[in-house]
Amino acid sequence: MSDSIILGIESSCDDTSVSVIKGNIILSNIAANQEIHIEYGGVVPELASRAHQQNIIPVVEKAVNKANIHKKDISAIGFTRGPGLLGSLLVGTSFAKSLAMSLKVPLIEVNHLQAHILAHFIEDANPQPPKFPFLCLTVSGGHTMIVLVKDYFDMEIIGKTIDDAAGEAFDKIGKIFGLDYPAGPIIDKLSKNTVENSFKFNKPRMENYNYSFSGIKTSVLYFIQKEVRKNPNFIEENLNDLCASVQKSIVEILMDKLEKAAEELNIKEVAIAGGVSANSGLREAMQKNIEKLGWNIYIPKFEYTTDNAAMIAMVAKLKFDRGEFADLSISATARYDIEERFKKDI
Ligand code: KG4
Ligand code: ZN
């Protein structure tokens, strides 16, 4: 069973990615990013679907060649069924079904959010995988939640954002600063060029383990409007400091609730996942808690943070070993809760 070779396909948003996994070892993980969205300041769904259609065959070819396998060696095809942009998901889903049918191998459906978390079980992701139960702060452009992971496919959301996701906050605030989309990695990079973080922004007061990021976005917007009226070059002259201040605030908001949850649930196994887990400020804050709070931390490698097919292949492998295959009549779904064990077709 462990020598199964599975090809995973990810197409939920604006990255077309294909990966080949053998056992728990990633043999290839290829992605084609869609630069077209930069000029629109965000992902344009119809352009994303069309780009997936153009990219998918070349990316599959590259992933198979890089893995140094033949298509006939493939034991199963895994694909992202949701959540995500429906048009984008449909391209990956249809292609996965056709490929599985032509190779006469089983088809395996994967929940994209579960995959971000289960990427921690890829052989080279961590020296040791996390032990159940663990907490995983799952932070991306579309989601921000604290997940209690009791088993591979037994996940409970114990806190989540009531409005914007953390990645969305980075991207929208970056737009206020005039930065390109996605602004998260740019804010991270610019933050590194300064030791200052002189600006303070409003932090939300939320119940339990929930988050809110719309307040900080508005707080930054009003502050910038006020300062730019006094000095039109304010953003330019303070860009690094502004980025560092925003990053510090977002990381503090994220970590406060994660620490509260870990303490109250008495859990010391703590992971982060999703695109924002690439953030250096968040990674540093996690590192500090090894000593400060006695945590065992799990931080994904950069290639397994933002959307990638390696994580899809990993989940498909786990399901392959359990014999959990999808019917060829399956369809993509834009909404797919992380707590759902398997979503029936509607
Ligand atoms: O998981 P992901 O690739 O796609 C979604 O499923 O949403 O996450 C993308 C998000 C974007 O909002 C992007 O700005 C953010 O992750 N991101 C970062 C960094 N790298 C990516 N945010 C802050 N710092 C980073 N280094
Ligand atoms: Zn994602």
Residue 198: is its pLDDT beyond 80? yes
> How many angstroms is it from 177 CA to the middle of ligand 2?
24
- pLDDT at residue 317 tops 90: yes
Least confident of 114-128, 155-169, 191-205, 240-254: 191-205
Q: Quickly count: other Cβ atoms within 10 Å of residue 151's Cβ.
A: 8
Closest C-alpha among 250, 258, 138 to residue 203: 250
pLDDT digits (tens, 9 = 90+) for 213-251: 999 999 999 999 999 999 999 999 999 999 999 999 999
The token pair that represents 296 in the structure block? 């065992």
3-state secondary structure of 157: strand
- d(CA 103, CA 93) in angstroms, rounded, equals 15
Q: DSSP letter at 326?
A: B
Residue from 168, 241, 258, 147 nearest 200 by CA: 241
Give the mean pLDDT of 123-142: 94
Whether the CB of 275 sits within 6 Å of ligand 1: yes
User: Contact 59/18 with Cβ under 8 angstroms?
Assistant: yes
Atom 19 of ligand 1 has which residue's CA nearest to it? 185
| Spatial separation of the C-alpha atoms in residues 78 and 20, rounded to whole Å | 10
Reported confidence tier of residue 207, pLDDT bands at 50, 70, 90: confident
Residue 2 confidence (pLDDT) = 59
Report yes or no: 293 and 269 within 8 Å, Cβ to Cβ.
no
Sheet order of strands, 154-160 included? 154-160, 144-151, 134-139, 269-273, 296-298
Please tell me the distance between residue 183's alpha carbon and the centre of ligand 2 in angstroms: 16
Of all ligands present, the nearest one to the C-alpha of 113 is 2
Nearest residue (by CA) to ligand 1, atom 16, is 275
Verify whether ligand 1 is closer than 6 Å to residue 282 (CB atom). Answer: no
Confidence of residue 122 (pLDDT cuts 50, 70, 90): very high
Nearest-atom index, ligand 1, CA of 307 = 3
Residue type, 192: K
- Tokens at 302, concatenated: 């950069």
Our answer on whether the CB atom of 273 is closer than 6 Å to any ligand 1 atom is no
Beta bridge partners of 78: 8, 108
Q: Give the distance (Å) from ligand 2 centre to CA of residue 288.
A: 26
**Distance from Cα 293 to the centre of ligand 2, integer Å:** 28
C-alpha–C-alpha distance, residues 309 and 10, integer Å: 5
Higher pLDDT among residues 105 and 197, named by residue = 105
pLDDT tens, residue by residue, 142-158: 999 999 999 999 999 99
Q: Report the atom number in ligand 1 closest to the C-alpha of 280.
A: 26
Predicted confidence at residue 344, as pLDDT, reads 62
Selection from 52, 58, 60 nearest residue 36 by Cα:
52
Q: What are the tokens at 22?
A: 């053998």
Choose one of 171, 284, 306, 308 to mutate for the ligand 1 pocket test, by most ligand atoms within 8 angstroms of C-beta.
306
How many other C-beta atoms can be found within 10 angstroms of the C-beta atom of residue 313? 37
Q: Which domains does the chain have, with CATH numbers?
A: 5-119+305-322 (3.30.420.40), 127-299 (3.30.420.40)
Ligand in closest contact with the CA of 246: 1
Q: Is the CB of 307 inside a 6 Å radius of any atom of ligand 1?
A: yes
Q: What is the pLDDT of residue 345?
A: 59
Q: Is the CB of 174 under 6 A from ligand 1?
A: no
User: At CA 245, angle to CA 187 and CA 141, rounded to 5?
Assistant: 45
CB atoms inside a 10 Å sphere around CB 305: 23
Which protein residue has the closest C-alpha to ligand 1 atom 10? 141
d(CA 110, CA 133): 21
Residue 15 CB less than 6 A away from ligand 1: no
| More confident position, 203 or 177 | 177
pLDDT (mean) for 259-283:
97
Per the DSSP assignment, residues forming a β-bridge with 145 are 138, 160
